[in-house]
Amino acid sequence: MFRNQYDTDVTTWSPAGRLFQVEYAMEAVKQGSAAIGLRSKTHVVLASVNKANSELSSHQKKIFKVDDHIGVAIAGLTADGRVLSRYMRSECINYSYSYESKLPVGRLVVQLADKAQVCTQRSWKRPYGVGLLVGGLDESGAHLYYNCPSGNYFEYQAFAMGSRSQAAKTYMERKFETFTESSRENLIKDALFALRETLQGEKLTSSICTVAVVGVDESFHILDKETVQALINEFEIAGEEAPANEAAPQDQGGDAQAGAADQGPTDQGVAPMDI
Amino acid sequence: MPIQQANWSPYDNNGGTCVAIAGADYCVIAADTRMSTGYNILTRDYSKIIQLADKSVMASSGFQADVRALQKVLEARHLVYQHQHNKQMSCPAMAQLLSNTLYYKRFFPYYSFNVLGGLDSEGKGCVFTYDAVGSYERVGYSSQGSGSTLIMPFLDNQLKSPSPLLLPAKDAVTPLSESEAVDLVKTCFASATERDIYTGDKLEILVLNAEGIRREYMELRKD
């Protein structure tokens, strides 16, 4: 993308009918670290890569609980993401207060999208520079939506955003037909595999990723580091090739567990201030 | 035309009584389940108790519509707190929030007479007692509602050491065991039910301790 004369104002159209400021905002999302989401009939899993600026700093929080039945993963300007998460939480609380029931996910994303659209049509504002993967459950089932800075949103079976997300998308494009009927464990496994694709060979450990789940009988919660590391070891995804078929990890998991158990304590990426 | 007086009140009194007793490592909160208006009974099975947080339980008598509205406000505010602080509100924090919420409507009050019970940050039982506009105090035991005039002097007599009547109170909380405190509460309500027409039907008891929360019911006279 190169600079041109129609990109200064968000309220200026280009002759080709584009709003460059909005498109630049979507670029910001692509620069953020990867976040992915996948959905089955009964569960939604969100996972993100948490890179710290340096070994001395803590990791950026990219997955937020919005309500018991909704969570969001963000990529891009995380400060914008935090502010929007606060808005989403507030909307859920107000809806619960008024109607004593849970805000349907579809309603929330529409409100979010309309809020984003406002920033594309006011000269004194700028678009939000964050993409949101909203995962949640309501009466009509499990949902995964992607909200982008333009004010558009779509529902997805699986989605990835942020840097090197295409690798994760490729993996999920191959497997997505199995997701609807997938069990909770397999869904998390696929999320970890997809996340690993975005690391391009770097070792996947629980210290650089965050995984969260929401399900039919399960409130939205972020899995703790020990659980995630155990899953990574169990599925043997640490540094090896993703198996071409489903059967392989199950067999390998059994006898490799003894060897894989060593990998946990020796992971080298843990920052001193890891929260 | 002669001077007219207001013949509509935004308030009603649905009656009922609430009690809470704090112990060394537990708290008992109880209320009857009768809801009335005037000399009529609306229902025999309405809970006046709500668990606001892990370690905070509120029982309220008075105008139940205002009580319910107050409960909803506190529930929503607790969610906001959890999002901001990533933890549950402590009982003393909830106590202050309740006071502030009540005073917020100082000039059109919640007609709600509350007792808040729970465990403080050290795991000791705590009870806070309120008036309708938020004046509150931490005490070892309290009662509110239509039967409180019958129950309070009885508790003062039976729970001598945390009673503020021997100034200062000898103990902050009662030295009674959990089961003794529960029995005392049952006795209180059985007595109050005899003479207070607005108290009766069923007694709901919540016991909060380190293990969690336990609920118990006892039948009361239905007349």
**Mean pLDDT value across chain B:** 95
Interface ipTM > 0.90? no
Residues whose CB is less than 8 angstroms from the CB of residue A223 and which lie 6 or more positions away in sequence, other chains included: A188, A211, A212, A213, A231
pLDDT for the residue numbered A51: 81
**Mutate which of A97, A100, A103, A221 to test chain B, going by most B C-beta atoms within 10 A?**
A97
> What is the per-residue pLDDT for A240?
53
- pLDDT of A245 above 80: no
Q: What is the value of pTM for the model shown? A: 0.86
- Per cent of chain A over pLDDT 70 is 85
Encode pLDDT of A50-69 as tens digits: 988 788 888 889 999 999 99
CB of A184 less than 8 A from some CB of B: no
Q: Is the pLDDT of residue B31 over 90?
A: yes
Query: Within 10 A of A223 (CB to CB), how many other CB atoms are there?
Result: 19
Query: How many Å apart are CA B21 and CA B101, to the nearest integer?
Result: 23
Query: In which domain, by residue range, is B39 found?
Result: 17-220
**Do the domain assignments include residue B41?**
yes
Residues of B in contact with A89 (CB under 8 A): 79-80, 83
pLDDT digits (tens, 9 = 90+) for A123-156: 999 999 999 999 999 999 999 999 999 999 999 9
- Please check whether residue A47 is in contact with residue A195, taking contact to mean a CB–CB distance below 8 angstroms: yes
Quick one: pLDDT at residue A238?
Answer: 56
Are the beta carbons of B79 and A93 separated by less than 8 Å? yes
Tell me: the pLDDT tens digits for A80-93? 999 999 999 999 99
Tell me how many domains chain B contains: 1
User: Which residues of chain B neighbour A82 with C-beta distances below 8 Å?
Assistant: none
CATH code of residue B72: 3.60.20.10
Residue B7 belongs to a domain: no
* Beta bridge partner(s), residue B58: B50, B116
CB contact (8 A) between residue B76 and residue A94: yes
B132/B92 Cα distance (integer angstroms): 18
- Is residue B3 included in any domain, yes or no? no
Q: Kindly state the tokens that stand for B65.
A: 């519509």
Nearest to A48 by CA among A267, A222, A274, A272: A222
Res. B79: pLDDT tops 90: yes
Does some domain include residue B5?
no
Which superfamily does A28-238 belong to? Answer: Aminohydrolase, N-terminal nucleophile (Ntn) domain (3.60.20.10)
- Residues whose CB is less than 8 angstroms from the CB of residue B105 and which lie 6 or more positions away in sequence, other chains included: B133
Taking an 8 Å cut-off on Cβ atoms, the answer to whether B76 and A86 are in contact is no
- Give the minimum alpha-carbon distance from B151 to chain A in angstroms, rounded to a whole number: 35
CB pairs under 8 A between A and B: 16
User: What is the pLDDT, as a whole number, of residue A265?
Assistant: 41
Say what the pLDDT of residue A259 is.
Answer: 38
Q: Kindly indicate the confidence band of residue A268, based on its pLDDT and cuts at 50, 70 and 90.
A: very low
pLDDT at B208: 97
What's the CA dihedral at A221, A225, A229, A231 to 10 degrees?
A: -20
Average pLDDT over residues B25-35: 97
Can you tell me the mean pLDDT for A30-46?
Answer: 96
Interface test with A, best of B50, B79, B80 (most A CBs within 10 A): B79
